[in-house]
A = this chain, B = another copy of it.
Amino acid sequence: MRPQPAISPASPPPSATPPSRRAASDGLATRLRQDILYCRWVAGQWLKQAELEAHYGVGRSEVRKALAEMLRLGLVVHELNRGYRVTPPDPGRRAEIRATRMALEAAAVDGILAHATPDDVARLRGLAEQFAAAAEEGSFARLVTLNQDFHAALYTLCGNSFLAELIGELRTRGLAGSTGRWTTAPGLRATAREHLAMVEAIAAGDAEGLRGLIRAHIAAF
């Protein structure tokens, strides 16, 4: 493999907060995760600790803690005494994660249908409609937030908080190195439609239908 020069990221992360010592206990991990997921750091690129330190205005300790977290999530790879770099896209691994997500999210369906109250359904429908609206005219960041909210609300309903958290983590991991369908308007609309269809399946108590929708939703990414 040809070692790539250690250039700056494609577009310098704009979140260049001045050296303000805020509650950055895991804030850096979140920011770094977002920046990696949205390809602000080029895949395969070396993430030099000093560079991160300067870009995010934090100390070395924070950088290393965040890098360890990214390593855990599989967003970066580590080579001893060489450093960390952004994990290159791996279609095979992503397929494995999708398959695993299908198993987990399908397992959550029964719990969701068992616990969902009319209020829950109404709330989910509201989130799905907000996403649909944002899909027409909304910022990328807002789409991401609404999407996360919808899925978090959905899987929280399953009654198994561990399962819900694990699904959330895998949803993040599976995105590594792919922007999904969100780069095209038709893809966005399809996503929004699927969300709404899921809500209706829940309202109808249709377990098998919901499972199929979820499976398709995962497969489409």
Hey, which bits of chain A sit against chain B, CB under 8 A?
25, 65, 68, 72, 80, 93, 96-97, 99-100, 102-104, 106-107, 160-163, 166
Shortest beta-carbon distance from A214 to chain B in Å? 13
Instruction: Report Cα–Cα, A166/B104, bound state, in Å.
Output: 11
Query: Which of A65, A102, A162 is most buried by chain B, counting CB atoms within 10 A of its CB?
Result: A162
Q: Are A96 and B162 closer than 8 Å at their CB atoms? A: yes
**Pair A107/B96 contact, Cβ less than 8 Å:** no
Best-surrounded residue of A100, A106, A107, A160 (most CB of chain B within 10 A): A100
Copies per complex of this chain: 2
Interface of A is mostly: helix
Decide if A104 touches B96 in the complex (CB within 8 Å). no
**B-chain residues with CB within 8 Å of residue A106 when the two chains form the complex:** 103
Question: Which residues from chain B contact A161 at a C-beta distance below 8 Å?
Answer: 96
Contact of A100 among B68, B72, B102, B166 (CB under 8 A): B166
Q: Which residue of B is nearest A107, CB measured?
A: B103
**Contacts of A80 on B, CB cut-off 8 Å?**
25
Q: Which residue of B25, B96, B166 is within 8 Å of A160 (Cβ)?
A: B96
